[in-house]
Amino acid sequence: MKEVSVEELKNKIDNNEDFQLIDVRESFEYEVSNLNGLNIPLSGILIESDKIAKDKPVIVQCRSGKRSAQAIMLLEQQGFDNLANLKGGILAWKEEIDPELDVY
């Protein structure tokens, strides 16, 4: 499984690269803090897979990287081959990029 570090994600955001960010946490978690990704909870990832781009890189994130890895495994079984997991999730983002970010 391809992984992207939080530094790589920040560079993509800063450089306005064309990619999609998917946040597979639950809605209440997303409301506490998010990185402006599209919120599709893991439980609905296959039902809402039509919202996920197939024609550009997609980075999948969660709190720590575990649920996003699960989501990628499910989506790859559906034919997606453009996915990367955000290593360490939003916890790593807080630790390395934005210490002010609220996480639970």
pLDDT (tens, 9 = 90+) of the chain, 104 residues, equals 999 999 999 999 999 999 999 999 999 999 999 999 999 999 999 999 999 999 999 999 999 999 999 999 999 999 999 999 999 999 999 999 999 999 87
Q: With beta carbons less than 8 A apart as the criterion, state whether 68 and 87 touch.
A: no
Label residues 40-54 b or e (16+ Cβ within 10 Å = b).
bbbeebeeebeebee
Supply the residues annotated as catalytic.
62
CA proximity to 7, closest of 103, 88, 104 = 88
pLDDT for 98: 96
Backbone φ, ψ for residue 83 (5° rounding): -105, 145
CA–CA distance, 43 with 24 (Å, rounded to integer): 8
pLDDT for 104: 77
